[in-house]
Structure 1
């Protein structure tokens, strides 16, 4: 199902979101430690595993549990309708991915904070994933290993040995006791697997270092399963997973004179199925699609997606809020979702001139841009995500709020939810009619601005609590949201038609 088309697919019903789980919930008044704040989140392609990274350099893995429990099958067979089972997760393991470092050549501290986590293809029951901080990408293998114990030693215990203690070179007694048969009867210790105990062992397979002069903001796996890209402010490098001492620079936007620098790379991602295609966004609000078959250095783009401002009302903040902080391909490979400071935009790869839909995330902040600039909030990097079926998109906002929009033509779904055990606590009622008609699908659709004019409770928004990171489950209507050090899970079922 493609989200924007002229097909016969009807408008799906709005989703009713419910709280499912929380990990790392803090007590009232408990102070959040800086190192515990979640900085990256990612589902694997199957939806069976979830990974998070934090500012302390740790990667935490969760695994789905509901799919492994078959005891509910009899209960389902007794019912005359199908009950959809929403994903539930449990803690699996964690490991220290990155440590703080110091670059003595540049006198620069390198934080251990995890910027991105990306899952790789599984093999032989082992999990593989990439994690990166500002400078170094690491390739991890996490595998269950059965616990082995020494069951039989090669010597008898001292109280049963008949030879007594042997004398050392100086005649002093040693702790070693000969077996009754002497040296010929010595044998290797017997090691056996005892019981069914297993232990998860994380191991760093590769370290991809010394390839970026600027902070890494993105990593993305290729659909070929063999390569990935890492992107910083000015360059994108292509790596082979098995080769860590060599990379190929495929995009370089660094000018000869740095005074001529006008834009930087903010995000990059491979196409989900075409291994030769990738997209990257810039601080000027553009998205470039490049084809690696054209040349070794992709200094020219195949397509550029850019919405030109025709209103004429430019200000000091226009370029700042136009900077794209995140892009995501839809599973169909035809659409790209982008997030700038104020809006979500859905682009069709066949239409470069304007997005097919624009969603206002927090339009109420526009009069406050000066204050947001003073406290640096205007530079916050919000992520975005698109559902596996391509029918909905989501992104975060302030006061630990996140927004979910329906992106099918004619849909008026625009929900505001809070990352808490009561997600609808601050829900604002959605108007029954959209603010603009959908008669011309080629024109940009703008929704969401009419739904938020301030706090639903009449209070002011808290700019210190921001929901930057979230991820949509690949096969279910389930969202994972990171609010400070807490990971909240939500799921939804389609509301039955009236």
Structure 2
């Protein structure tokens, strides 16, 4: 399975997510970088434009977003492509550090609304997850999914062809109307941007009057196209595979395997294993559906492959547990290899305990030694070699605990927040309400706990720091460990303001190699660097 030293006891140095013990790093100073799709004040946001998925590729050179309208939008990094001339670069004293900058690349319609006639159910076009696949021959591949159908897309550059030297003699006349140079004749009376064979007409070509009639005997001076040339390229997305009819319940996760050949898809009760080249069959590797549905006690909420072990994957449940399974043990992995579950304290249970314990997202650290999980109130970092308890717990919005009744009434308590880790594993991040997100230091003794707002001024919201002594006493009273960082005093709000539960930052992603975070606030994509 996975080798390594046993988990460190409480109070011992906590290794970083890369597996090495490191001293705390200074807190990062986050700055605004870019925004795409920023809405004007008072502008109404359409439901279909709200971003529902974000994903960097393994290199960080490309970024993909999906929205509730079924569209996938791609961005590419541009700061590495220096446009300065060689002489300008020679005159420059130093290249200087430049933070990653991205530009809009292309977009395509990935999913359309469907209707299941057997179950009389509408299937939304909303993109639930996007995952980048291995590149091949300078083409980008990615898989996207809605509630029922997964699709594999290939994105390549294609040269746009144009016709040159299509003209007639200026003296030639038809119906008494002179014909101008570089005029593309079209019986429908217009010059199309693209013809049926994919050849584009010159955009500056004027259209011929619909009243034009060819003179008797035709026009002898009419020339055929003498040159077909290409002066620009465009990205074209083509659907290569459609993986459908394999899930009875809504798909909540897809994850690529490190073998670059297979991937998994998970719904509430099952996890299926697919081959990227085979779309008409999959293998059911996890099935937690009971014989009697009345005996159902938990559902699958998220699943992810180990980053380097192609036979290992983890999935989380609505009970707050994470199961690690090894596909070599049996064809149907109903028995887990390891179970990560925190022991509940007697007397701490309430009506909301099971609801807020449900894990909404899990992520492996790059080395695979650690797993980051997000439940409603906290982030937890687990060592795969220590199942009894997490090595660190980060409180995201503890001030909302007294408001759980209100959150339950407006269904906000069921919101599913995502989480992410930095490429070096030294920091973790997740979202909250009022378009806020939080960044925590994961190294031993780190006190870093930044609260930022998805806006052009991310640091304008400041959390009132709690008393450290008071926080420790509260932890001791609850029987908690001292490594639970990032806590806030219950009831203390940000700037004394009122939380906006309609503005929630659910989706975010961390650049794999740089301190760059992309996060979605409604229909806008904000990017920050440090």
TM over 0.5: yes
Would the alpha carbon gap of residues 5 and 192 (structure 1) be closer, same or farther in structure 2, given more than 3 Å must change? closer
> How big is the shift at 1:75?
7.7
> How big is the shift at 1:444?
6.8
How many Å separate the matches in 2 of 1:176 and 1:130? 56
Aligned pairs for 1:61-210 within 5 A:
61-69=74-82, 71=84, 74=89, 78-79=93-94, 83-150=96-163, 192-195=228-231, 197-210=232-245
Q: What's the counterpart of residue 478 of structure 1? A: 516
Q: What's the counterpart of residue 250 of structure 1? A: 285
Residue 271 of structure 2 aligns to a residue in which SS? strand
Residue 405 of structure 2 aligns to a residue in which SS? helix
1:387-422 superposed Cα distances (whole Å, 9 cap, x missing partner): 000000000000001000001011000011111111
**TM-score scaled to structure 2, two decimals?**
0.82
1:45-87 superposed Cα distances (whole Å, 9 cap, x missing partner): 00000000000000000000101116398389615xx843211
How many Å separate the matches in 2 of 1:458 and 1:222? 46
- Asked if the contact 2:401–2:490 (Cα under 8 Å) also holds between the matched residues in 1, the reply is no
> How big is the shift at 1:432?
8.9
How many Å separate the matches in 2 of 1:128 and 1:342? 35
**1:32 pairs with 2:48:** no
Residue 235 of structure 2 aligns to a residue in which SS? strand
Would the alpha carbon gap of residues 266 and 174 (structure 1) be closer, same or farther in structure 2, given more than 3 Å must change? farther
Aligned pairs for 1:30-429 within 5 A:
30-69=43-82, 71=84, 74=89, 78-79=93-94, 83-150=96-163, 192-195=228-231, 197-428=232-463
> How big is the shift at 1:177?
6.8
How many Å separate the matches in 1 of 2:124 and 2:217? 50
How many Å separate the matches in 1 of 2:450 and 2:397? 12
- Asked if the contact 1:345–1:355 (Cα under 8 Å) also holds between the matched residues in 2, the reply is yes
How many Å separate the matches in 2 of 1:92 and 1:217? 27
Aligned residues: 467
- Asked if the contact 1:47–1:473 (Cα under 8 Å) also holds between the matched residues in 2, the reply is yes
**1:21 pairs with 2:34:** yes
Q: Which runs of 5+ in 1 are unaligned?
A: 161-172, 181-186, 493-498
Would the alpha carbon gap of residues 4 and 219 (structure 1) be closer, same or farther in structure 2, given more than 3 Å must change? closer
Q: Which moved more, 1:82-91 or 1:203-212?
A: 82-91
> How big is the shift at 1:178?
11
Q: Which moved more, 1:289-298 or 1:429-438?
A: 429-438
1:350-409 superposed Cα distances (whole Å, 9 cap, x missing partner): 100000000000111111111111110000000000000000000000000100000101
Q: What's the counterpart of residue 458 of structure 1? A: 496
**TM-score scaled to structure 1, two decimals?**
0.88
How many Å separate the matches in 2 of 1:305 and 1:444? 20
- Asked if the contact 1:146–1:193 (Cα under 8 Å) also holds between the matched residues in 2, the reply is no
How many Å separate the matches in 2 of 1:45 and 1:379? 31
Residue 457 of structure 1 aligns to a residue in which SS? helix
- Asked if the contact 1:11–1:410 (Cα under 8 Å) also holds between the matched residues in 2, the reply is yes
How many Å separate the matches in 2 of 1:393 and 1:8? 16
